[in-house]
Structure 1
Amino acid sequence: MIVMKHVALIAAGCLLFVGACSSGEKNAAASDSSYQAISALGDTLYAPPLTPEDERRFESELEKARADYENTPEDADALLRYGRYESSLGNYTKAVSLFSEGIENHPKDARFYRYRGHRYITLRKFDDAIDDLKRSSELIYGSEDQPEPPLAATAEGNEETRRTLHTSIWYHLGLAYYLKGSYDQAQNALEECLRLSTNDDTFVAASYWLYMALRRGGKDDLAGDVLDPVAEEMDILENIQYHKLLLVFKGVFKPDMLLEELQNSDALEYATLGYGLGNWHYINGREERARELFQKVYSGEHWPAFGYIAAEEDLSRLFSQSS
């Protein structure tokens, strides 16, 4: 399943603006149970494609998770795994319904609000995401942080092994505010994530979005302070692209080095690097180059990626009236 794009040429010599679908098309999409979301530019979004190997692996793990849940429906961990595996297959609306069930059955378990908030971001429901993530931050107040266990299907890639519940909540809350253009609130949440970070992976992820929120909010001096602790040699397992982009912002790497890497990157890496480089051009006054890179990101397939969502929102908010 893929992203269905409706393309309209705004004017000769102008931006090829993706996503100008009519309200009738949106209503038709809403009646299609297989679609996941509507983008800020009006495109119907379907579960992104997986490699055959990943699809088989995730489906196998999903069946196990579903069976565990059906055998022990009162087990919060089983329900959480079930929802997370639905997310792995791109079934985000189904995952949200499972996390909602978890909230109903385990209203004091902050994890269900955390994961539902994350998936509300994926589904472009930023206000709902903020409500959930704020609620989860209240539920964890005064409690000890805990690691977020990796899913079995992704453990060999070290994914999520460094994430914790508290840092994930504040990170995603900051991201949701950033995507709404609420940069002061994003700053507050991401600073809290930084304060709680205990490893370089969470540190660079929070620093990346915090730097951009500060620059977008006109707080350039504070943004410069964010870059001071960033070094070339850091212990990074998963947030390699964020680290490289921070080094570009700091002036250690030249952006052309990442542009070359961009050509050989996968869809997720392309969304991350493409948006980061585009935003670097934007905050330095090169709006046409920024728009070009945002458009290339939006033309990709990995629409759940945070870089993709940010590029989409910027194309809608910053450039939709351009001519």
Structure 2
Amino acid sequence: MHKSTLKALALSLIICLTACSNEPKETHYELKEFQTISLLGDSLKIPQRSEAALKALNDNLEQAKTNFEADPSEMNTIWLGRRYAYLSDYQKAVEVFTDGLQKFPESYKLYRHRGHRYISLREFDKAVADYKKAYELMPKGVVEIEPDGAPNKLNIPLSNTQFNILYHYGLAHYLKGEFEQAEEIYKELLNNYCDNLDLFVATTDWLYMTLMRQEKKEEAEKLLNNILTEMKVLETAKELTEVANAIMLDKILDYKTEIVENDSYYKRLLMYKGELAVEELFETDNDDVALSLATQGYGVANWYLYNGDSDKAKEILEKVLDGTSWAAFGYIAAEADMKRLQ
């Protein structure tokens, strides 16, 4: 080849490489719209979000990518997967957690998060297997605070890794209709890892439903004796500030007797106890109406089921399934129940 031709080719290559390097990098992750098939055969897709909400989630994802590229540690892997999950790309989250487990095969935390997203994708057998492994690997008799990706009103994480492993482990069995196994797990959770009222009411609620599904009505009703009408749901800025200061200053932890996050579960329990009208569960001032409908609507459907009105239960389940929060546990449980009732 002639020297002048070689020079021309080399110059063209340099120009091309320079142009390519100057191209803007992709700043936002492109979501996979289709995620999975529901238990009833429907396609489940990424929900619509506002431009502002999507930007905030993508910004968080970009930061997680940067952290992971700088240091692909166990924790940075977890956060990368969690950030994909907050964008509702559960398939990608599972992929990240799976890659992480190749590098950190003893990570009960990675198993915990992958199992959660298997539940989101309706792969309950895989979720049970992950939580079984996570439970075997996790330290027992201690609580390790788990940081929040979506902070609560206090901006203080209230859950712990041990709680989340057992909570989701029990849920996976519940969704499969394996209520005896779920009962055993929820009881261990209630006795050992519920160190504040939010965790207590959430676990009590699922254990109550699990017992009722096994027609253990007397035992279920005994649980409700621990649910008091004077339990306080924190709402005002003053209340939240006082409790936050008490925690930060290591004073008496009043938040252990006050509800910050799980008021929906509390309302369900009061309804089961007969101290809250069924209709009141559909009244909400929560910003996420769809999530509240999924959580509280599922409780109402259960109430009708327990009282022998399966037609009304189906009607409420259909309302839940008309909502958009298809990754909510109440929504997934509504799918499972509707499938059993068909």
TM-score normalized by the length of structure 1: 0.84
Identical residues among aligned pairs (%): 39
User: CA shift at 1:210, angstroms?
Assistant: 0.6
Gaps of at least 5 residues in structure 2 are 1-30, 232-257
Letter of the aligned partner of 1:233 in structure 2?
E
Q: CA 1:292–1:159 in 2, change beyond 3 Å: closer, same or farther?
A: farther
Letter of the aligned partner of 2:109 in structure 1?
R
Distance 1:281 1:79 in 2: 43
Superposed, which structure 2 residues align to 1:54-73 within 5 Å?
A: 54-73=53-72
| Greater Cα offset, 158-167 or 90-99 | 158-167
User: CA shift at 1:143, angstroms?
Assistant: 6.2
2:325 is the alignment partner of 1:317: no
Query: Could you tell me which of 259, 263, 277 is aligned with 1:254?
Result: 277
Distance 1:160 1:101 in 2: 30
Aligned partner of 1:182 in structure 2 is 178
Letter of the aligned partner of 1:311 in structure 2?
A
2:195 is the alignment partner of 1:172: no
Letter of the aligned partner of 1:127 in structure 2?
D
Q: Verify the 8 A CA contact 1:36 1:47 in the aligned structure 2.
A: yes
2:203 is the alignment partner of 1:206: yes
Name the Cα RMSD after superposition. Answer: 1.9
Q: Which has the higher contact order (CA 8 A, sep 6+)?
A: 1
Distance 2:175 2:326 in 1: 14
Q: Verify the 8 A CA contact 1:282 1:290 in the aligned structure 2.
A: yes
Q: Verify the 8 A CA contact 1:47 1:90 in the aligned structure 2.
A: yes
Superposed, which structure 2 residues align to 1:64-213 within 5 Å?
A: 64-73=63-72, 75-142=73-140, 144-151=142-149, 154-155=150-151, 157-158=153-154, 161-195=157-191, 196-213=193-210
Q: CA 1:101–1:160 in 2, change beyond 3 Å: closer, same or farther?
A: farther
TM-score normalized by the length of structure 2: 0.80
Q: Verify the 8 A CA contact 2:152 2:261 in the aligned structure 1.
A: no
User: CA shift at 1:309, angstroms?
Assistant: 0.4
Q: Verify the 8 A CA contact 1:204 1:239 in the aligned structure 2.
A: yes
Q: Verify the 8 A CA contact 1:200 1:236 in the aligned structure 2.
A: yes
Q: Verify the 8 A CA contact 1:208 1:242 in the aligned structure 2.
A: yes
Aligned partner of 2:38 in structure 1 is 39
Superposed, which structure 2 residues align to 1:256-295 within 5 Å?
A: 256-261=279-284, 266-295=289-318
Distance 1:211 1:142 in 2: 24
Q: SS of the residue aligned with 1:302?
A: coil
Query: Could you tell me which of 218, 221, 230 is aligned with 2:227?
Result: 230
Q: SS of the residue aligned with 2:35?
A: strand
Distance 2:200 2:166 in 1: 12
Q: Whose Rg is larger?
A: 2
Q: CA 1:113–1:263 in 2, change beyond 3 Å: closer, same or farther?
A: closer
Letter of the aligned partner of 2:223 in structure 1?
V
